[in-house]
Structure formats: C-alpha cells, structure tokens
C-alpha cells in the first residue's frame, strides 16, 4: 500500500493513494499516542536505545599462546610446501579474497588434498622419527607373534592377540605416513622446478615491463 503524508499542517495527516480524504494521526487513539509530540518522543527514545546498543558492543580480542621470539624457523621441505600452498591459494585459510593461481600450478590443483596431507605430516612429525617408530613396532609385533606361538594359556593367548591387533593398526598408520614421505620427496623435485620457472617468468615480465617503460 502507498500513502500520502502531509506534515506542513497543524496535525500530521495521512491517506491512502486511492482515498479521497486525509486522516489525522492524532485521532487514531483517544490517548493521543500518535500526536506529534509522542511520535517525536518515540523516535528520540529509539535513537537513544540504538546508541546504547552500539556503545555496549565490545571489540573482539584474540589471544595467542606462545612466544614468537622463541618460535623455530621452518626449513627444508616445510618451507617449500608452505610457499607452494600459499601460491596455490590453500593458505591462508578462510582468506576473504582468494589469490589468482598461476597457470603453472593449475595442474596440481587436482592434488590439493594430497598436498595438504603431506604438508600437515611435515609439520607434525619428522621422517626419521616415523621410520624408527615403525621399525620398533614391527619388531615388537614379531616378539608378540613368537609368544603366541609358544603360549598355552588361553587367556594369555587372547590378550597377546589383542596386542597384535593394536600393533597392526599403529603399523598401518605409520606405513601410510612413510608412503606420504616418499610422495613428498618425489613431489618436492617437481615443486622446485615449478617455483623456479615461476620466478624466472616473473623476472622476465618485470624486465620487459621496465624495458617498455624505458622506451617511452
């Protein structure tokens, strides 16, 4: 519905577009709730309430743990993977604007999940620690198998079998990690070549841009 309003009169009046006569707002109720004074008072009170709401809003405070001065610098494959994930747009997470991916990297977008898994593993565990742990568990599993072979007590044998099952699960996870490390070593060679090509192309582009500007 559309209304016509007149405020340049003694009392504010209103009417529908299709109506013939205007109707005074002060006549809507007997207690003059819609008089000019009461309408102005409501508007004023709403402004105050809004201002109070804005003032009560507290800024968001983020707390970070640790000391940046004591943090360790990442090296080796970790640096390469972090740079690569940044160029691919995987990092930073939840960025408001996704960076444009270089065309050299578009083929690797298919392996984004795998690269993320490899980078997560690199940041959590050292390859040597994983391999040593795997060897230790395999030896332990062999010892348990030997105990089962010569064990005659059913209860003890059942317990040893549960131990074997538990060790098998751990060994399976560690073998997955080892395979990821093997993939990391192979992928890192390709990553280095791509990053090198990107840098060379960027340098060529900058040189050509400077050359064109110098000719003008």
pLDDT tens per residue, range 135-151:
999 999 999 999 998 88
Domain that includes residue 18, residue range = 3-56
Do 104 and 207 have their domain in common?
yes
Inside any domain, residue 63? no
The pLDDT, as a whole number, for residue 69 is 66
Q: Which residue has the higher pLDDT, 58 or 170?
A: 170
Q: How many C-beta atoms lie closer than 10 Å to residue 87's C-beta?
A: 19
Sheet containing strand 3-6, edge to edge, reads 3-6, 13-16, 23-24
Task: List all residues 6 or more positions away from 61 whose beta carbon is below 8 Å from its beta carbon.
Answer: none
The pLDDT, as a whole number, for residue 210 is 47
Do 41 and 116 have their domain in common?
no
CA–CA separation, 185 and 193 (whole Å): 13
Do 90 and 43 have their domain in common?
no
Do 28 and 92 have their domain in common?
no
Do 87 and 164 have their domain in common?
yes
The pLDDT, as a whole number, for residue 112 is 75
The pLDDT, as a whole number, for residue 129 is 84
What's the average model confidence in pLDDT over 21-41?
73
What's the average model confidence in pLDDT over 33-46?
72
Do 31 and 117 have their domain in common?
no
The pLDDT, as a whole number, for residue 215 is 45
Do 81 and 36 have their domain in common?
no
Instruction: Tell me the percentage of the chain whose pLDDT exceeds 90.
Output: 14
Instruction: Tell me the percentage of the chain whose pLDDT exceeds 70.
Output: 71
Inside any domain, residue 134? yes
Do 18 and 119 have their domain in common?
no
Do 157 and 194 have their domain in common?
yes
Model confidence at 165, pLDDT cuts 50, 70, 90, reads very high
Do 193 and 106 have their domain in common?
yes
The domain total for the chain is: 2
Question: Residue 122 has which token pair?
Answer: 């690199």
DSSP label of 14: E
Do 191 and 138 have their domain in common?
yes
Do 25 and 86 have their domain in common?
no
CA–CA separation, 191 and 182 (whole Å): 14
């Amino acid at each position: 519905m559309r209304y016509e309003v007149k405020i340049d009169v003694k009392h504010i009046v209103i009417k529908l577009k299709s109506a013939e006569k205007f109707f005074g707002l002060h006549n809507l109720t007997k207690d003059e709730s819609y008089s000019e004074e009461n309408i102005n008072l409501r508007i004023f009170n709403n402004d105050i309430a809004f201002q109070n709401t804005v003032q009560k809003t507290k800024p968001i405070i983020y707390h970070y743990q640790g000391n940046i001065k004591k943090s360790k610098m990442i090296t080796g494959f970790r640096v390469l993977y972090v740079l690569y994930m940044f160029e691919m747009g995987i990092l930073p997470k939840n960025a408001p604007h996704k960076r444009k991916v270089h065309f050299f990297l578009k083929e690797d977008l298919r392996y984004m999940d795998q690269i993320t898994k490899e980078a997560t593993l690199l940041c959590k565990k050292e390859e040597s620690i994983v391999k040593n742990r795997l060897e230790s568990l395999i030896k332990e599993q062999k010892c348990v198998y030997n105990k089962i072979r010569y064990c005659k007590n059913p209860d003890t044998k059942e317990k040893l079998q549960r131990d074997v099952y538990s060790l098998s699960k751990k060994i399976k996870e560690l073998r997955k990690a080892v395979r990821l490390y093997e993939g990391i070593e192979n992928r890192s060679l390709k990553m280095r070549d791509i990053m090198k090509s990107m840098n060379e192309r960027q340098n060529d582009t900058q040189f050509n841009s400077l050359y064109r500007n110098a000719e003008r």
